[in-house]
Homo-oligomer: A and B are copies of this chain.
Amino acid sequence: MQTRDFGPRSFRSIFKWGAPDVFYDVDDRLRTFICDTLGLPEKHLTELFHPGLEDVPELPAPDLPEHALARLEDLVGADNVATDDYTRTEHCSGSTYLDLLRLRLGKVENAPDVVVYPRTEADVAGVVALCHENNVALVPAGARSSVTRGLESPRGGVCLDLTRHLNRVLELNETDLTARVQPGMLGPAYEAWLNARGYTCGHFPQSFEYSTVGGWVAARGAGQQSTYYGKIEDMVLALRCVTPRGTLATAPFPRCALGPDFDQLVVGSEGTLGVITECTLKVWPHRPQSMLPLTFMFRSFEQGVDTIRTLLQSGIGRPGVCRLSDPEETEIAFLLDGLAGGAIDKTLQRLGYTPGSRSLMIAATEGDRALATVTAARAHALAIKRGGLPLGGKPLHAWAKRRFHDPYLRDDLMDYGVMTDTLETAMTWSDLPRVWRGVRAVIKARPHTACMTHISHAYETGANLYFIVIGPMDRENPIRDYRDFHRQIIDAVVEHGGSLSHHHGVGRLFASWYPEHVGETAFAAFRGLKAALDPHQIMNPGAYGLDEQ
């Protein structure tokens, strides 16, 4: 690890995950991976690829209706309205691989004209009404970690940053085990607040450190322990969403029969219908001591899949963390962890756990300790019957230590001109093998490209697949090149029966696939909703392709 100077107004200070002055020192293991596996020349390890040290440029002056700026300042206070180039550039995109590429290349596209920091729901309602009346585009923003081009302002207008003020827990109800939370609260602050009172939020996406409660809900996200705690849509009991048509507010009934589930209209709407201003979420007793390891090596991916499927379907209790790496991911992990060729590797090989087919499962129980003990015993028996070799607590602890590290690594790899992205999909157990094979086939057809795949969220009826793609970047045309490659991958996902997304969302990245993927009638329903709640089509224009003809 080394640090370098960078400007406080630099692109790097905007796109870098974590401290912007950190550059990763390539160790021998990563060198082997980059040079041998990806086939990149050694010199790439010393020549940084557009590290983004330049300051952001001057942008065209804000283009808003007359008096709009003054009225915004009246509404929220002058301190909470920003039109400077840096703030506008900061809010021009999320953290999609393409977003990061653009920023590294010094391209500022789709910046808002103004960034507004509302202090209250009334502020939000005022800004929404102002934008609605004046036909000004409005894009709500949390911590801007979208990886689906969910955050862009193609029509300029207002970006509403909810993180400055709307970032508190409003109420903890210990009778109902619920918390009322504002949308701009970051994951670590929320979890720390709950932990201090003996509870946990149960939602830990890889973006945990730089994502917000509102973003989780807007994108229909999932945390790494979702197999026990559920996806965010399973945690939302009620919400408030300020739409141009008025405020949609639901009550925290545990279940009801009141027509369509209005919470489930807003969850995943990605700012296209309104601005989420409050969420009532489930919370749980915080019991980290109940995390008993369920870690196994299997001789094949199929054996691992069969184990997780049976575990989920047998009713013997759900693990929280529930991951299964495919053979390529298992081998790259062995390489990067310095295990390849060592004593453990040799023992495993002697026992028939062969590189190229063996697959690593890392899971852990949750909840009540006594029940977790039974679940763990039953799960061990089940895994061993399917050829699994128990590996104890070490792999779980190693995983836990670096559970939020991948987004940092992405920037590090991009610093060395390495293309790296993640894609994720969900499917039934029946369809999983062909999605896995079909998508891998497309990715592996690209020379020198690594494809690490795992299951990280499992259900009775199916699971997700998460693909990490790492390969050489086309340094001349990195954006066009990646777009073409990405299109092929997503075509394969859909062709083989996977969903366009399991938890990243749709944004603008998948908008061209979306109408066909959900079908014309469902898309018409979504547009009908939009027409009812956002008749002037001001909310997050371009997302889902809802406002295109």
Binding site for B on A (CB under 8 A): 173, 175-178, 219-222, 231, 233, 237, 243, 245-262, 264-270, 272, 282, 284-285, 287, 309, 313-317, 366-368, 370-371, 374-375, 378, 426-430, 457, 459-464, 497, 499-506, 514, 517-522, 524-533, 544
**Residue ID in chain B nearest A270 by CB atoms:** B259
Determine whether the beta carbon of A257 is less than 8 Å from that of B461. no
Determine whether the beta carbon of B246 is less than 8 Å from that of A501. no
Q: Which residues of B contact A378 (CB under 8 A)?
A: 368, 370-371
Determine whether the beta carbon of A257 is less than 8 Å from that of B262. no
- Tell me the complex Cα distance, A99–B250, Å: 31
Determine whether the beta carbon of A533 is less than 8 Å from that of B518. no
- Tell me the complex Cα distance, A221–B255, Å: 10
- Tell me the complex Cα distance, A231–B255, Å: 8
Q: Which residues of B contact A464 (CB under 8 A)?
A: 255
Q: Which residues of B contact A519 (CB under 8 A)?
A: 246-250
Of A251, A284, A427, A505, the most chain B CB neighbours within 10 A belong to A251
Determine whether the beta carbon of B518 is less than 8 Å from that of A461. no
- Tell me the complex Cα distance, A313–B174, Å: 10
- In the complex, 9 of the A-B residue pairs with CB atoms within 8 angstroms, ordered by the A residue number, are A175-B428, A176-B429, A176-B462, A253-B428, A254-B426, A260-B525, A265-B265, A282-B460, A374-B374
Tell me whether A219 and B316 are in contact in the complex, defined as CB-CB below 8 angstroms, given that A265-B525, A522-B248, A528-B532 are known contacts.
no
Q: Which residues of B contact A260 (CB under 8 A)?
A: 264-269, 525-526, 529
Tell me whether A525 and B518 are in contact in the complex, defined as CB-CB below 8 angstroms, given that A258-B500, A259-B544 are known contacts.
no
Each complex incorporates copies of this chain amounting to: 2
**Residue ID in chain B nearest A219 by CB atoms:** B257
Within the complex, which residue of B459, B506, B532 is in contact with A527, where a contact is CB–CB below 8 Å?
B532
Within the complex, which residue of B248, B249, B502, B521 is in contact with A246, where a contact is CB–CB below 8 Å?
B521
Determine whether the beta carbon of A533 is less than 8 Å from that of B529. no
Determine whether the beta carbon of B177 is less than 8 Å from that of A252. no
Cβ distance A308 to chain B, nearest Cβ, rounded Å: 12
Cβ distance A24 to chain B, nearest Cβ, rounded Å: 30
Determine whether the beta carbon of A370 is less than 8 Å from that of B316. yes
Cβ distance A315 to chain B, nearest Cβ, rounded Å: 3
Q: Which residues of B contact A428 (CB under 8 A)?
A: 173, 175-176, 178, 252-254
Tell me whether A258 and B371 are in contact in the complex, defined as CB-CB below 8 angstroms, given that A176-B461, A429-B176, A531-B528 are known contacts.
no
- Tell me the complex Cα distance, A513–B374, Å: 48
Q: Which residues of B contact A528 (CB under 8 A)?
A: 528-533
Determine whether the beta carbon of A525 is less than 8 Å from that of B529. yes
Determine whether the beta carbon of B175 is less than 8 Å from that of A430. yes
Cβ distance A524 to chain B, nearest Cβ, rounded Å: 5
Determine whether the beta carbon of B245 is less than 8 Å from that of A175. no
Q: Which residues of B contact A316 (CB under 8 A)?
A: 367-368, 370-371
Top 5 A-B pairs ranked by shortest CB distance? A528-B532, A315-B367, A254-B459, A254-B462, A220-B257
Cβ distance A125 to chain B, nearest Cβ, rounded Å: 12
